[in-house]
Amino acid sequence: MTVQILADSASDLPKEYFDEKNIILFPLRVHLENQDFEDQVTISSKKIFEAMRDGKSPKTSQVSPQTFKETFTELAKQEKSCLYVAFSSELSGTYQTAVMMANEVKEEYPNFHLSILDSKCASLGYGLAVMQAVKLANSGNALLEIEESVKEYSSHIEHIFTVDNLEYLARGGRISKASAFVGGLLNIKPLLHVEDGKLIPLEKIRGKKKVHKRIIELIEERSKGVQHEIIAISHGDDEQTATVIKEMIQEKFNPKNIYMNMIGSAVGSHSGPGTLAIFFLNKQD
């Protein structure tokens, strides 16, 4: 790999993937019951989901400025070319902090080749962007080529997701508590997506089976032809439901590959257990 790839834990890729592909991991921080943890490192997402089911409310915070500065400084000393593919700047301050620390390090090491890319993606949508960066780096592409290609690739990643309990979105300020209460009574499931890095409500659907059917329809309407692409599925500790939607996708589209993983602690602290998210490339102009 001629270019070192860096990413943070909001990509929801397993720690083993970071280790195997030699990606530098920046863990976001999770605060639970007066303790601080590092996402993917010192706490599992399963523990977070279990705590949320018990009524606890974990909080999250971005990667610390000091962590960025120390890592960037070490890479600058090694004279490495680096690309940090970052979590959407609309959902976390991590990107802005990384840029600020990179500028400080470059004052001391002006020849440090580090690019920081705002993926404007989340969860395994962001993970797909990281995987693309790794693929290009392993193929020997130069830093600028990788950055431009991943930026274009990221702009076409669709995020379609639903949550099992509206209360978790209400806690995070995504919807009102009144809407969450009424939605729970009526068994209304929201469908959301991401536009320019922001979470945007898409539709409200009554009933789990109808939500699954609508997800399949949206993939068909928006995809560029998933039989040639990877579809990613992330879930909030609900592998059974994720497997159901995986089988529906497999039967309908027969994609090149389906990558499935549990949502990480940082993202899961906001979406809650039972979340189901689908990621794929949309139609390009």
Q: Whats the size of the chain, residue-wise?
A: 285
Instruction: Show Cβ contacts of residue 82 under 8 Å, excluding neighbours closer than 6 positions.
Output: 3, 4, 5, 6, 72, 75, 113, 114, 115, 143
Residue 158, CB-side half-sphere exposure with 13 Å CA sphere? 25
Quote the CA–CA distance of 162 and 285 in Å, as a whole number: 27
CATH topology for the 157-281 domain: Hypothetical Protein Tm841; Chain: A;domain 3 (3.30.1180)
- Distance from C-alpha of 248 to C-alpha of 214, rounded to nearest angstrom: 12
Encoded tokens for 236:
């909030």
Rounded CA gap, 204 and 209, in Å?
13
What confidence category does residue 175 fall into, taking pLDDT thresholds of 50, 70 and 90?
A: very low
Residue 228's pLDDT is what? Answer: 73
Q: What is the pTM of this model?
A: 0.92
Ranking 45-49, 70-74, 86-90, 166-170 by mean pLDDT, the lowest is 166-170
Q: Which of the listed ranges 52-61, 130-139, 207-216 does the model predict with the highest average pLDDT?
A: 130-139
Q: Which CATH class is domain 4-28+63-154?
A: alpha beta
- Name the more confident of 115 and 206: 115
Can you read off the two tokens belonging to residue 150? 């991943």
State residue 184's pLDDT score. Answer: 46
pLDDT in tens, 103-140: 999 999 999 999 999 999 999 999 999 999 999 999 99
Rg (CA), the chain: 19
13-36 average pLDDT score: 96
Mean pLDDT over 211-230 rounds to 88
Written as one letter, the residue type at 100 is M
Q: Is 157-281 the same fold as 4-28+63-154?
A: no
Q: What is the per-residue DSSP string for the chain?
A: --SEEEEEGGG---HHHHHHHTPEEE--EEEETTEEEEBTTTB-HHHHHHHHHTT---EEEPPPHHHHHHHHHHHHHTT-EEEEEE--TTT-SHHHHHHHHHHHHHHH-TT-EEEEEE----HHHHHHHHHHHHHHHHTT--HHHHHHHHHHHHTTEEEEEE-S-HHHHHHTTSS-HHHHHHHHHHTEEEEEEEETTEEEEEEEEESHHHHHHHHHHHHHHHBS-GGGSEEEEEESS-HHHHHHHHHHHHHHH--SEEEEEEPPHHHHHHH-TT-EEEEEEB---
Residue range 207-235: average pLDDT?
Answer: 89
- pLDDT for residue 182 is more than 80: no
- 102 has a pLDDT exceeding 70: yes
The distance from CA 215 to its chain's CA centroid, rounded to whole angstroms, is 18
Percent of the chain past pLDDT 70, that is, above it, reads 91
Q: Domain coordinates of the chain in residue numbers?
A: 4-28+63-154, 157-281
